[in-house]
Structure 1
């Protein structure tokens, strides 16, 4: 570690800096040459980066302020052009007065690093401050907005002559602690050049080796499956999956330690009683929302939590029902938990609203500089976001 001309021990300063937000830490490099050298060495130190991430990730649900990334779905496929670049926003929510029926939000735009390639963005996922953006063609970019860095990932399907057509239907990204590595999974459906049959394939990318390899995926489907946005929890990536022909939902998981896919059964009677499902993180566990409309205007929401004993992959998976919410009027769908007791939802008019599971209080989200922006309310992807120093 670089030495400085002061009397503060390096260990003390390192502890202090491990609690400094990434943007501020980067700005501190301008203080002096010695500070520049010190911070550069810390950013390259994986132990410090992990400690910094841990400090900012300690029970984020208890924080008075939470951050989210909002991505527009203004059209079926948007690109990382300047138009979409201006719409990708960082939303910060805080509760200053628990008795207030409004929650203040602040929108910061843009957040993506300059110079990112102009590519279609059909799949978005996030882990530890890194955003994974991928197209239906297999193009992929990893970026960390906090440190303004990105990496273009080689397309694993480019030049594959065995297939007439390839479409990426699912993308996941997460951290595997045993290997101390970040991994991306790309699931594609392809038409074989030999017999014209449609088959599912999957490839795995490792950031340490900057390379892809084929992995086995044995998934029975009588139609092209639709995969929703992936979430990552404790080394496992999860997707909700829809079979359009049978109109049936399911959950697919991928264990990054064992490179193993597993189809997870839904809770009993969910498929029979509910119309939609969605997965999210709740208290560092995988939760499942099942929800249906009542009479077209009211929505009832059930919340389940995956049994920790099953680990989502090894052994049989079980679910514990935790909540029944509603019926609520003019609610389109639940999004994510942003505190222990606050559920972020989307209204039928495309605005955001928060529901407190303890008090049953609904509070509208008042977002500065966004209420009059028609592009802001366009079926956004909403992600909980943790700023980090993790390099891409």
Structure 2
């Protein structure tokens, strides 16, 4: 087992393409021959793409949460920043009374700028293909791959250079399958709506002119959902009408999609969440019946269905699930749909609770040291995609 010499190259590549990215990187330490083989594979773009495809097929539900870092750096200066915990759900597909998970530190390489560690409080987090895009302040944005221990600071946006102190109102991060490039979009809604786009591997941002009829007053979710080449945000216009703002990564085109009709929602809406269900964009609407002593929670899940022959913005919605009443008094927010139709929610005491969309069974997700978790950042899948070559 210490050498691959007796195996055909194609077989070695096939086997390695199914090995988790972090395990593959650890295997480099086995021997010099293993190091040489794995080093060659990790630097082969076709293998990296194949490995990513396989990882998505067998991906477990892993979520990144932030927690406070009390440590000091080598100069004795307190970090006062955020660290990240990776929580991986293990048995959501089993009929147990509880769902178990594994927690691990997600050791992001600290960004350095002007000789200083730029570790701080992260305000936004987006994920695509194992790469995390983080925003700390208007001048500190970065992309990183924790598996490869790679971190790359992004150039300042034109808006940050001119104004300097306003964070973007929203961010999106995704993959352009035509140009085979990763792109980041930043949107500001102060005074006028403006956007800038950055392509990884370049050294600047490009200003983007939004359509004049793009009526956006604010974002209900500042981090985009990326699915199928499009970034999605839930927004409000100046008449408080809720819409879905979309950005096509490849065509670099903004458009607005219809919002599902909520006329049959009987109770007060207390939360909106956007996620993915079976490759569909899914919108979850949480409502409470405040006329009952238990204030039960109801959740309706709509999926976006394109019935327009591909015409952007004309997609329709179908109600896929209606669950409730759920008696969960300390509910704070819905997070997302995870494996096997489990709907994840967070309580005020940081506990995670899951409700099965089909059986409506409520289960607690057991997380080690759950008290220290601050905020859910994003989903995460481990990959070998490098940020240095982009």
Cα drift, residue 102 of structure 1: 1.0
**Native 8 Å contact 1:89 1:110 kept in 2:** yes
Matched, 1:231 2:225: yes
Q: 1:293 to 1:349 in 2, by over 3 A?
A: farther
Provide Cα deviations, 1:22-75, integer angstroms capped at 9, x if missing partner: 122112222333432322221121110110011111154xxxx5321113599x
Cα drift, residue 352 of structure 1: 0.5
What TM-score does the superposition give when structure 1 sets the normalisation length? 0.83
For 2:29 and 2:181, how far apart are their aligned partners in 1?
Answer: 31
Q: 1:6 to 1:269 in 2, by over 3 A?
A: closer
Cα drift, residue 382 of structure 1: 4.8
Matched, 1:111 2:110: no
**Native 8 Å contact 2:129 2:383 kept in 1:** yes
2:96 aligned partner: 100
Q: 1:202 to 1:306 in 2, by over 3 A?
A: same
Q: 1:164 to 1:340 in 2, by over 3 A?
A: closer
Cα drift, residue 181 of structure 1: 1.1
| Aligned partner of 1:294 among 273, 289, 305 | 289
- RMSD of Structure 2 on Structure 1 (CA): 2.8
For 1:261 and 1:179, how far apart are their aligned partners in 2?
Answer: 18
Q: 1:37 to 1:271 in 2, by over 3 A?
A: farther
**Native 8 Å contact 2:68 2:82 kept in 1:** no
**Native 8 Å contact 1:255 1:313 kept in 2:** no
1:149 aligned partner: 150
For 2:216 and 2:279, how far apart are their aligned partners in 1?
Answer: 34
What TM-score does the superposition give when structure 2 sets the normalisation length? 0.84
Cα drift, residue 186 of structure 1: 0.7
2:41 aligned partner: 42
Provide Cα deviations, 1:213-259, integer angstroms capped at 9, x if missing partner: 1112236447455543211111001111245x644422111001110
1:376-387 matched pairs, under 5 angstroms: 376=373, 378=374, 380-387=375-382
Provide Cα deviations, 1:256-300, integer angstroms capped at 9, x if missing partner: 111000112211236986343221011111000112221183221
2:235 aligned partner: 241
3-state DSSP of counterpart to 2:189 = strand
Provide Cα deviations, 1:98-133, integer angstroms capped at 9, x if missing partner: 342111122112432245632442111111111110
**Equivalent residue pairs, number:** 364
Q: 1:299 to 1:311 in 2, by over 3 A?
A: farther
For 1:202 and 1:217, how far apart are their aligned partners in 2?
Answer: 7
2:364 aligned partner: 364
2:351 aligned partner: 351
3-state DSSP of counterpart to 2:25 = helix
3-state DSSP of counterpart to 1:186 = strand
**Native 8 Å contact 1:135 1:168 kept in 2:** no
Matched, 1:252 2:245: yes
1:109-258 matched pairs, under 5 angstroms: 109-115=105-111, 117-157=118-158, 160-161=161-162, 166-190=166-190, 198-218=191-211, 220-221=214-215, 223=217, 225-243=219-237, 246-258=239-251
Cα drift, residue 135 of structure 1: 3.5
For 1:292 and 1:350, how far apart are their aligned partners in 2?
Answer: 20
**Native 8 Å contact 2:87 2:101 kept in 1:** yes
2:324 aligned partner: 326
**Native 8 Å contact 2:110 2:151 kept in 1:** no
Q: 1:92 to 1:248 in 2, by over 3 A?
A: same
**Native 8 Å contact 2:258 2:315 kept in 1:** yes
1:78 aligned partner: none
3-state DSSP of counterpart to 2:207 = strand
Q: 1:264 to 1:359 in 2, by over 3 A?
A: same
Q: 1:313 to 1:391 in 2, by over 3 A?
A: farther
For 1:147 and 1:157, how far apart are their aligned partners in 2?
Answer: 30
**Native 8 Å contact 1:254 1:262 kept in 2:** yes
2:72 aligned partner: none
**Native 8 Å contact 1:299 1:332 kept in 2:** no
Structure 1 stretches lacking a partner, 5+ long: 75-80, 191-197
Cα drift, residue 340 of structure 1: 2.9
